[in-house]
Amino acid sequence: MAMMKKILVSLAVTISLSFSNDKPQNDTSCRAALPSLASEKTLVLLFCQQYAPNYVPMLESSYSSPNSWSITVGGVPTPANFDANDKNDLIDQFETIIHESTHHKNTRDGIYVGPNQYLLFTDAEQSDVESYYKSELIAGFLPIDAKEKIFRFTTYIGKGSGVSANVNGIFGLMDEYTAYQNGCSAALEAYDNALKQYDTTLAITFFKAALSTHYAYYEFNSFIGAYLKYGKSNAPIIYQKIMNNTTLRRAYNVNTIEFEKAIAVINSQANRLKSNYKLVKSNLEAYKVKNVVFAKSCMTSFEPELTNFKLN
């Protein structure tokens, strides 16, 4: 349930309580007198207004508090103790807040693909959401070593995984795809604004946050491509429902365009950062070797399926 109330700040914002269990965190420190959710949300919105203003409207309607996430440290449930009064906490959790809040925005009604872009499902499309097969069935359509070499394989399409990307099939994969895309894009917007405010250290932090998730583009395209190929061969009726879902296909196309823009930004910052580029270059190269090369090769093998799935 959402509890709504108005508060006065430099601008009026609408407060909604929302909960997400998608991404565990590992902050085990304890703090006293954490702010109320209303004041916490206000502080997050003000931070977002400064660094990624395009994402303020989404947070206003669908904010997900880190203190509501399910967190396990060493197998033990642990309170997050996120403190929005602490700028370090805001910086550390910002991309994940956008990611989790995107999940809240994505519902049976529609998919949030980016600022001012919310695509609504038709009634018929909504009724089809629960008819899709689990994503774990596609493992055989990926390389035999994909489980070990694709970082997010086990979490999202591993056998028995309880997350939406597995349980809700293609809809869950798209939910996750758009969450990673928006988290990465918001981090890069924050990077850009931090540079414009001459805070290079903070800009580099945001840039590294985007780096840590940008390769989800290759991973989820591999998953979506394999899902479509499996469906065409093994579940033709469901496959046809997927191809008839124009909103889902448009959401895939827009997400892909926005994700590719983000990756283009990441790969073109050497001249802009100049001597500071060395602070991110080693990270970028490490992710390329460990995460991008293999996942990209998988994605390329599904190019016919992915191209056919796109719809303007």
Residues 1-9 have a mean pLDDT of 30
Nearest-5° angle of CA 133, CA 75, CA 94? 75
Last-in-domain residue among 105, 131, 156:
105
* 75 token code pair: 């197998």
With b meaning 16 or more CB within 10 Å and e meaning fewer, what string describes 178-207?
A: bbbbbbbbbbbbbbbbbbeeeeeebbbbbb
The tens digit of pLDDT for each residue in 49-80 reads 999 999 999 999 999 999 999 777 667 777 78
Taking 3-state DSSP, the helix, strand and coil percentages for the chain, each rounded to the nearest 5, stand at 65, 5, 30
Q: Choose between 2 and 251: higher pLDDT.
A: 251
What pLDDT was estimated at residue 130? 67
**CA–CA gap between residue 227 and residue 17 (Å, rounded):** 34
Cβ distance 16 to 61 under 8 Å? Answer: yes
The tens digit of pLDDT for each residue in 270-295 reads 999 999 999 999 999 999 999 999 99
Shared domain for 86 and 225, answered yes or no, is no
55 assigned to some structural domain = yes
* 111 token code pair: 């998919």
Residues 291-312 have a mean pLDDT of 97
Shared domain for 168 and 137, answered yes or no, is yes
The tens digit of pLDDT for each residue in 156-195 reads 999 999 999 999 999 999 999 999 999 999 999 999 999 9
Last-in-domain residue among 39, 71, 105:
105
**Whether the predicted pLDDT of 11 surpasses 80:** no
What pLDDT was estimated at residue 79? 78
Boundaries of domain holding 30: 6-105
- Interacting residues of 169 by C-beta distance below 8 A, sequence separation 6+: 132, 133, 134, 135, 227
Please report the DSSP string for 40-75 in residue order.
HHHHHHHHHHHH-GGGHHHHHHH---GGGS--EETT
Shared domain for 17 and 134, answered yes or no, is no
**CA–CA gap between residue 124 and residue 113 (Å, rounded):** 20
The residue whose two tokens read 């420190």 is 29
272 assigned to some structural domain = yes
Last-in-domain residue among 53, 75, 105:
105
302 assigned to some structural domain = yes
Shared domain for 174 and 285, answered yes or no, is yes
What pLDDT was estimated at residue 34? 61
Shared domain for 85 and 124, answered yes or no, is no
Q: How far is CA 37 from CA 2, 47, 90, 197, in A?
A: 12, 15, 14, 29
* 155 token code pair: 């979490």
Shared domain for 151 and 89, answered yes or no, is no
1 assigned to some structural domain = no
Shared domain for 223 and 86, answered yes or no, is no
The tens digit of pLDDT for each residue in 218-234 reads 999 999 999 999 999 99
Shared domain for 47 and 96, answered yes or no, is yes
Shared domain for 135 and 227, answered yes or no, is yes
